[in-house]
Structure 1
Amino acid sequence: MITGAPLDPKGKIHLTLPKPLPVMSANFEERSGIVSCTTPWGCWYQTMEEVFIEVHVPPGTQARDIHCKLGSRDIRLTVQGKDVIKGKLFDSTISDEGTWTLEDRKLIRIILTKSNRNAGNCWTSLLEEEYSADPLVQDQMQKKLTLERFQSENPGFDFSRAELSGNYSKGGPDFSFMEK
């Protein structure tokens, strides 16, 4: 028996239960996967905010064998004295936020933070003249960034398995005129 609970006119008990805590949604990329561009040294992929570069290196590579210079518009990665990536980036990044790690002594992961962080800023290649995404991969990347934009604008919805058709280039349609 519950004592002290309020009764309605018909004698029924009404309890007010606490609202459930919001469930933290998993990272959008973890739920929806990534769209990567394969290169001779590994791959690169992007989100609205960042560009990720994965470089496979010989097993046993040590950090002292790696030289990585990340500028706002350029990158140079040298492994064991040989240039792996060198050139002008497709677009600008925030150089002091760029990082690299050596994982399991066989993979270098570089993370670049984009200066322009909107869904319409879909890089078509890693460097201005190299490592371009083929048209199908580019189309999938643009769809992914548009869905990521929809997810960030509508956090209560899950767009990780959504399909897009129609106007999604340059970040999809602009709904700002509909805002209250």
Structure 2
Amino acid sequence: MSTSTAPPDPTPEELKASKEKEEAEQSALPYKWSQTLEEVDVAVPVPEGTRGKDLIVEIKSTSFKIALKGQEPILEGTLFKSIKVDEATWSIADRKTVEVHFEKVNAKEWWPHVLTHHPKIDITKIQPENSKLSDLDGETRGMVEKMMYDQRQKEMGLPTSEEQKKMEMFEKFKSQHPEMDFSKAQLNM
């Protein structure tokens, strides 16, 4: 019988070194990027004064390329995952940055990198932006509010909404059947 043990948690020094290495790798990339679960935005510096007609921008479902006409690509490679090509856009900001916007086909996962040949980030450390309950549709909002209520109730040692419903139904049943003895009745919660 063999037993496997999980590796020890990294020390604060190891975590700091890992974070510094990741930051150095990301700052060395020829672009800056950010993401949400649904989208990826890439900002690629180009020579000041660059216009759209000076560029070759190719966006495909699994790859993309940016180049100045007649020159080697500034950026070219395979995307981490597929994007919605029809939703992709690009523009030039201040005639010195090409801004590219992708919508992910799978809008339920974080990308560790934009192009597969570039260094990865630790996606387990991503802190997603807080969404507001008011941003949710009615049904989802109601479900989230119920879950939050039940969580607070559990933390205080109080019954959840389902347990409260069961107790109310039991009390109603008891009042409708006074002839029955409920002294030894137990509710399974």
Interval containing the TM-score (normalised by the shorter chain): 0.5 to 0.7
CA RMSD of aligned residues (A): 2.8
Cα 1:156–1:93 change in 2 (3 A) is closer
Cα 1:103–1:156 change in 2 (3 A) is closer
Runs (5+) with no aligned partner, structure 1:
1-35, 158-174
Could you list the runs of 4 or more consecutive aligned residues of structure 1 that deviate by over 4 angstroms after TM superposition? none
Which of 36, 39, 42 is the aligned partner of 1:53? 42
Residue matched to 1:83: 73
**TM-score scaled to structure 2, two decimals?**
0.53
Cα 1:156–1:100 change in 2 (3 A) is closer
Question: More helix by proportion, 1 or 2?
Answer: 2
Cα 1:39–1:96 change in 2 (3 A) is farther
Q: Which has the higher contact order (CA 8 A, sep 6+)?
A: 1
Cα 1:64–1:113 change in 2 (3 A) is same
Q: Give distance in 1, aligned partners of 2:115 and 2:68.
A: 18
Q: Is the 8 A contact 1:38 1:44 kept in 2?
A: no
Residue 139 (structure 1) shift: 4.0
**TM-score scaled to structure 1, two decimals?**
0.56
Q: Give distance in 1, aligned partners of 2:60 and 2:112.
A: 19
Q: How many residues align?
A: 116
Residue 77 (structure 1) shift: 1.0
Runs (5+) with no aligned partner, structure 2:
1-22, 137-143, 149-161, 163-189
Cα 1:56–1:155 change in 2 (3 A) is same
Q: Is the 8 A contact 1:39 1:131 kept in 2?
A: no
Could you tell me which amino acid in structure 1 is paired with residue 101 of structure 2?
I
Which of 117, 134, 140 is the aligned partner of 1:155? 134
Write the deviation string for residues 26-66 of structure 1: whole angstroms up to 9, x where unpaired: xxxxxxxxxx9434322011012110000111111121111
1:63 aligns with 2:42: no
* Identical-pair percentage: 25
Residue matched to 2:139: none
Residue matched to 1:6: none
Q: Give distance in 1, aligned partners of 2:47 and 2:58.
A: 20
Q: Give distance in 2, aligned partners of 1:75 and 1:91.
A: 12
Q: Give distance in 1, aligned partners of 2:89 and 2:119.
A: 20
Q: Give distance in 2, aligned partners of 1:82 and 1:106.
A: 18
